[in-house]
Amino acid sequence: MSLLDELETLRAEAAAGLKAAADPAGLEAWRIKYIGTKGLLKAWMKRMGEVPKEDKPAFGQRMNALKDELTAAFEQAQAGTAAARPAAKASFDVTEPLPAGQRHEFGRRHPLTRTTEQLRDTLRALGFEVVEGPEVEDERHNFDDLNIPADHPSRDNWDTFFIAKDALLRSQTSTVQIRVMEQRSRTPPIRVIAPGRVYRPDTIDATHASTFHQVEGLYVDRNVSMADLKGTLQLMVEGLFGEGTRVRFRPSFFPFTEPSAEMDCSCPACAGEGCNVCKGIGWVELGGCGMVDPAVFEAVNRARGDNAYDPEVWSGFAFGFGIERLCMRRHGISDLRLFLENDLRFLRQT
């Protein structure tokens, strides 16, 4: 078989292949195979060396003719499939109804974001300012100045992520209390809330996560009392769970507050009647709070080098709540892990 005969076979195959290519993808595959820069035609051009000298002009002409022929056939086929397609729209008409069976998908904010916003709105109305602090902290802000003794078990590696000597991922937003009071540009009275992410090396299960969110509150003024604390939290809880939700304090202990209390609210699921969510008690636990320990004010004064937070003049309350827990109570969510799984069915439900 001569080279020219082989070329004729190639031409016939290419023509048949083009006829079979029905759509733009098929056409593109054909183009790459035959007339593309690494295609068969290019490979054939390189065989010029095998051609006897006297046949070179004829072979060259034949190659060029074949290239023109295939290119023209390809362009024609391409125009054919383009004509068969509806012309591309010049612009997108947002008012045009969707085809039957399709609907617009609406996005919404994550339930944790919405719970945080609800907290923020209620407390802002009471004059609280929203502040933030760093997530990487030192031991002084996470422990020492919060009156947590050097031998306190929460300093253990099991309860705090240490990332270097004297550098850790904050295990509570209480650090922001210290950060705010340390600022020399501020003097009491202080009214701040600090929502943010905290970290603890907990084993992840339905009620524990190694990364979660807290909201910290701090109010420092003259003559602040437990009654102010309870009134503030009452409003916060009603904002979250609706009017008529009751709160109660149980005595507790935290190093940075004295006296300290755990706060419960009447079970949002049964309005205090008793159900399986509240284990029949009618109350559910929300978080900790108390009056700022004078030792915290003294630590802040030491850091500032003044007596701006004289414990004889100023008093204050502080509270800290897990936002996940509040959100779970609010929406009847039983598993913390759902917040992190990006399951659209969950996100649409809450």
122 within 8 A of 333, measured Cβ to Cβ: no
- Min CB(337)–Zn ion separation in Å: 22
CB closer to Zn ion out of 263 and 267? 267
Cα four-point dihedral sign 285, 291, 294, 299: positive
Asked if 269 is part of the footprint of Zn ion (rule: CB under 5 A), the reply reads yes
- Min CB(240)–Zn ion separation in Å: 16
Among the listed residues 275, 303, 308, 347, the single contact to Zn ion using CB under 5 A: 275
Site for Zn ion in 27-46 (CB under 5 A): none
CB closer to Zn ion out of 70 and 267? 267
Asked if 281 is part of the footprint of Zn ion (rule: CB under 5 A), the reply reads no
Asked if 267 is part of the footprint of Zn ion (rule: CB under 5 A), the reply reads yes
Beta bridge partners of 254: 257
CB closer to Zn ion out of 219 and 241? 241
CA atoms of 296 and 289, how far apart (whole Å): 14
335 within 8 A of 242, measured Cβ to Cβ: no
Q: Which residue has the tokens 């098929």?
A: 26
Angle 92-95-101 from CA coordinates, rounded to 5°? 95
CB closer to Zn ion out of 29 and 275? 275
- Min CB(119)–Zn ion separation in Å: 22
Alpha carbon separation from 191 to 21, 75, 86, 185 (Å, rounded): 72, 73, 63, 14
Among the listed residues 126, 235, 277, 347, the single contact to Zn ion using CB under 5 A: 277
CA atoms of 139 and 293, how far apart (whole Å): 18
Which residue is at the shortest CB distance from Zn ion?
267
- Of the ranges 159-167, 186-194, 215-223, 263-271, which one interacts with Zn ion (CB under 5 A)? 263-271
Cα four-point dihedral sign 262, 263, 268, 270: positive
- Per DSSP, the residues of 14-32 read HHHHHHH--SHHHHHHHHH
Asked if 278 is part of the footprint of Zn ion (rule: CB under 5 A), the reply reads yes
Query: Edge-to-edge, what's the strand order for the sheet holding 257-266?
Result: 129-130, 190-199, 211-221, 315-322, 283-292, 257-266, 247-254
- Min CB(314)–Zn ion separation in Å: 39
- Min CB(117)–Zn ion separation in Å: 25
- Min CB(275)–Zn ion separation in Å: 3
- Of the ranges 94-102, 236-244, 261-269, 339-347, which one interacts with Zn ion (CB under 5 A)? 261-269
Asked if 226 is part of the footprint of Zn ion (rule: CB under 5 A), the reply reads no
Asked if 271 is part of the footprint of Zn ion (rule: CB under 5 A), the reply reads no
Binding site for Zn ion (CB under 5 A): 267, 269-270, 275, 277-278
